[in-house]
Amino acid sequence: MNASETVKERTPIIRVDDVSKWFGSVVAVSEVSFDVYPGITGLLGPNGAGKTTLLRMITGLAEVSQGEISVLGGHPRSDPDLYRRIGVMVEHEGSYDFMSGRRFVELTARLHEVDDAAAAATRSIARVNLSDAADRPIRTYSRGMRQRIRLAATFVHEPELLILDEPLNGADPRQRVEFQELLLALADEGRTILISSHVLEEVELLASRVLLVVNGKLAAEGDFHAIRQALDDRPYQVRISCDRPRALAAGLIGLDSVDSVQLDDGTLIVLSSNVGALQAALPRSAAELDVRLTGVEPLDDSLESVFSYLVES
């Protein structure tokens, strides 16, 4: 049984089925379908791609124009009781600036009818490392601190599902690392986390699964490498190091699997639309040409490159 079959057999925590959202004549999200399973799932896309609109529909802040969304077997918009099991941190949500951080988190706990709201708030604030500043008014917080106190409020009621829209915005590099460690710890506790971001390396480090949204449509979903494979119309760039690059270049250029070959500082940059065939042909060609291969390295296997490609196309 492979990994994708395992995923299909699990019950999705979130199911988005053919969902669209439009505002007048502007289509913000168009016929998007995906499932979210336990673990961390990254929702990626450039600004204006429709990520926030999607999350707003999932969290019940916005109505879908078409399609259906199921969250934990229901939908919080029609069944607010589900919010006991869901923690939401939206991107542009305001906080009560006149309150202290502690009061804000405590208020959120009370609104979720947590038994001991004060103790839950103290625990939650400690987890985001904001205990020292907890009694200061939120208006005195830096942007990163605001994000942290909002995150503390998001999981103060111990939800099993966390939906976080750009939670790392405004955080400095050290805070980002702390955030990432905290989110990984929350996921390790068995929570499902759906996190949106346009900062790809953050999600690449966090998410076991990614959903790529471009222009309101789901461009790709799945494991990053699986997404990469799905983009079979996109040429791969591979850097090949060898002892006789010119000879290998002349041999490779005639292969069907090779679109172009470029000599770059003693190495070859090969563009291929069929990397499987290239993998098979490369050792054979090298042997025939008596070329010794010293390195084969994909150049664009990072999330950033896939994302850029999707946006550009």
Partner 1 sequence: MIAIYLLSLRQLQGRWRIAALLAVTAVPLVPAIFAVASSDRPTALDLDDGLINGVLASAVLPILTLVAATPVFGNELEDKTLGNLTMTPLKRWRIVAPKLAAAISVAVPLIALSAVVSVLVAFQGAEIDGAGRAAAAAAIGLAIGALLYGTMFAWLGLFTSRALGIGLLYVFIWEGLFGTFVDGLKYLSVRQYSLSIIRQLDPTRFDGSSQTVIGIEAAAVGAGIVLVAFALLTVRRLRSMDVP
How many alpha carbons lie under 13 Å from residue 233 in its C-beta half-sphere? 3
Closer Cβ to partner 1, 88 or 120, answer by number: 88
User: Which among 161, 155, 94, 165 is positioned nearest to 125, based on CA atoms?
Assistant: 155
Q: How far is the CB of 270 from partner 1 (least distance, A)?
A: 50
Q: How far is the CB of 155 from partner 1 (least distance, A)?
A: 13
Residues 152, 108: contact at Cβ < 8 Å? no
Q: Kindly report the CA angle at 270 between 268 and 271, in degrees rounded to 5?
A: 155
Residues 51, 43: contact at Cβ < 8 Å? yes
Closer Cβ to partner 1, 136 or 244, answer by number: 136
Closer Cβ to partner 1, 163 or 278, answer by number: 163
Determine the residue type at 144: G
Q: How far is the CB of 203 from partner 1 (least distance, A)?
A: 23
Closer Cβ to partner 1, 119 or 184, answer by number: 119
Residues 276, 250: contact at Cβ < 8 Å? no
Q: How far is the CB of 80 from partner 1 (least distance, A)?
A: 5
Closer Cβ to partner 1, 62 or 219, answer by number: 62
Q: What six digits make up the tokens of 60? A: 């019940």
Closer Cβ to partner 1, 59 or 175, answer by number: 59
Applying CB under 8 A, the residues found at the interface with partner 1 are 56, 59-63, 76-77, 80-84, 86, 88, 90, 92-96, 98, 107-108, 110-113
For residues 94 and 179, what is the distance between their CA atoms, to the nearest angstrom?
20
Q: How far is the CB of 25 from partner 1 (least distance, A)?
A: 17
Closer Cβ to partner 1, 77 or 239, answer by number: 77
- What is the pairing mode between strands 192-197 and 209-214? unpaired
Q: How far is the CB of 102 from partner 1 (least distance, A)?
A: 14
Q: How far is the CB of 110 from partner 1 (least distance, A)?
A: 5
What SS3 string covers 215-270?
Answer: CCEEEEEECHHHHHHHCCCCCEEEEEEECCHHHHHHHHCCCCCCCEEEEECCEEEE
For residues 214 and 53, what is the distance between their CA atoms, to the nearest angstrom?
12
